[in-house]
Amino acid sequence: MISESGESECVSLSRAAKILGVCVRTVRREIERRKLIAFRVGRSLRIRMSELRRYIEAQTMGLQL
């Protein structure tokens, strides 16, 4: 999603896990496997919503990331 300021919306790992219907550990594992791209903001990791949409689409189409 793009916010009103024109920047990409980012979510925490716990929010990403809720969106995906998995636990935070699974999200971390997918980041380690480089199937999900995350970045650091201070000490925490964030994932762009566009990256989550890409991941979901790839998973539903059965694509190997």
**Using one digit for the tens of pLDDT, what is the confidence trace for 14-43?**
999 999 999 999 999 999 999 999 999 999
Rounded Cα distance between 39 and 8, Å, is 13
- Residue 29 CB neighbour total at 10 angstroms: 13
Kindly report the average pLDDT of the chain as a whole number.
88
Rounded Cα distance between 31 and 29, Å, is 5
Of 16 and 65, the one with more pLDDT: 16
